[in-house]
Amino acid sequence: LPAGKRGGLSPIQGMRLMERIADYGFNFVRSGDQIRKSLEDLERFEREVVPELTITDPNPVYNLEILSWFSLKNLLLCLKMGLRAAERREESRGSHIRVDFPQVDHDKFLFRTVFRPQGEGFQMEAVRPRVVRFALPEGKDDTIISYLFNERYNYLRPKMR
């Protein structure tokens, strides 16, 4: 914990900065340029801001600064993984809408992105879903909307059971 330092940002202020980085490149509608800029800003934030964070009160009893520091460290890791996954997925799917890749490409990107700890970082891998009840979609759809309304998938009209 960065207790006892003077003059740095509080973890609460650091969270606000990190939220701005996330809002720019990790919003619902994004582009590769926005994602890369947010990754660069996040790396600079981790390198320059995080080491200078200050906790003014070292008392651990319900200390909002300490709780915010742990939240910031956790969110930093989650944001880093999310941005890496978004950068890799060169298509639009679900709430991930890429203005530079509006198509839904089932053949190339129908997978889950999984992160596993590796040394000081993590390893990213693509894992295809295991089919249990229905066939996975194939081919491409022009947009998420055309995918959702495509009658061969029947996503918006569930079958009565």
Read off the pTM.
0.85
Q: Which two tokens stand for residue 15?
A: 């969270």
End-to-end CA distance of the chain: 55
Tens-binned pLDDT, residue by residue, of the chain (161 aa): 665 566 788 999 999 999 999 999 999 999 999 999 999 999 999 999 999 999 888 888 888 989 999 999 999 999 999 999 999 999 999 889 999 999 999 999 999 999 999 998 899 999 998 887 877 888 999 998 888 888 887 776 655 54
The number of residues in the chain equals 161
Q: Which two tokens stand for residue 55?
A: 């906790």
What burial class does residue 60 get, using C-beta atoms within 10 Å of its C-beta: 0-12 exposed, 13-18 middle, 19+ buried? exposed
Indicate the Cα dihedral angle 140, 143, 146, 148, nearest 10°: 90
